[in-house]
Amino acid sequence: MHYQAESYGNYYASTVRQSAAVDPLERVVRLASGSAVVIFSLSTCCMCHAVKRLFCGMGVNPTVYELDLDPRGKEIERALMRLLGGGSSVPVVFIGGKLVGAMDRVMASHINGTLVPLLKEAGALWL
């Protein structure tokens, strides 16, 4: 399956064609578009805990997918790692279906003031 990649900008380095029933990346996309703020996380990861606390502290109610509690979580983890270009797989944040990135991107966008408008646009923040 070929993906319409417009809304994801240039984050997709490569589109993986898989014969599996559901491409993990496709699943990621589907899950990400399902809510205003989506976080892919691991229940044991403390950085994921930090990013969750960040959004909760801002008054945002994110949808969190704990990949270690998902039977096919490993696939998604691998897909996310490919998406981000190595490093750690989680946490990964999507806002309004668009990929924001890992923790450092989230932090940077918060500091430079682009996170809040993004949240407002996605309807996750009021006021």
Partner 1 sequence: MASHGVGGHVLSDPEPSQHHHIQYAVPHTLYPPNTSFINQEGSAFDFGELEEAIGINNDETKQTLYAVRPRAATLEMFPSWSTKFHHTPRESSKSEEESADSESALNTLANRRDTTRHRLQQPHPPKTHPQMEMASASNNPTTGITQAQQLDAKPTPPKGRGARSNSDKLLDAKTLRRLAQNREAAKKSRLRKKAYVQQLESSRIRLAQLEQDLQRARSQGFLIGGGVAGGTITSGAALFDMEYSRWLDDDHRHVSELRSAMQSHLSDGDLRIIVDKYIAHYDEIFCLKEVAAVSDVFHLITGMWTTPAERCFLWMGGFRPSDLIKMLIAQLDTLTEQQAVGIYSLQQSLQQAEEALSQGLEQLQQSLISTIANCSDNDSLHHMAVALSKLNGLEGFVRQADNLRQQTLHQLRRILTVRQAARCFLAIGEYYDRLRALSSLWAVSSKREFHC
Would you tell me which residues interact with partner 1 (CB under 8 A)?
44-47, 49-51, 53-54, 57-58, 88, 103-104, 107-108, 110-113, 115-116
CB of 119 to partner 1, least distance (A): 12
**What is the maximum alpha-carbon separation in the chain?**
45
- How open is the CA angle 34-113-29, to the nearest 5 degrees? 20
- How many C-beta atoms lie closer than 10 Å to residue 51's C-beta? 22
Query: Smallest distance, Å, CB 100 to partner 1?
Result: 14
107 or 122, CB closer to partner 1? 107
Closest to partner 1 by CB, 1 vs 108, is 108
> d(Cα 60, Cα 7) in Å, to the nearest integer?
22
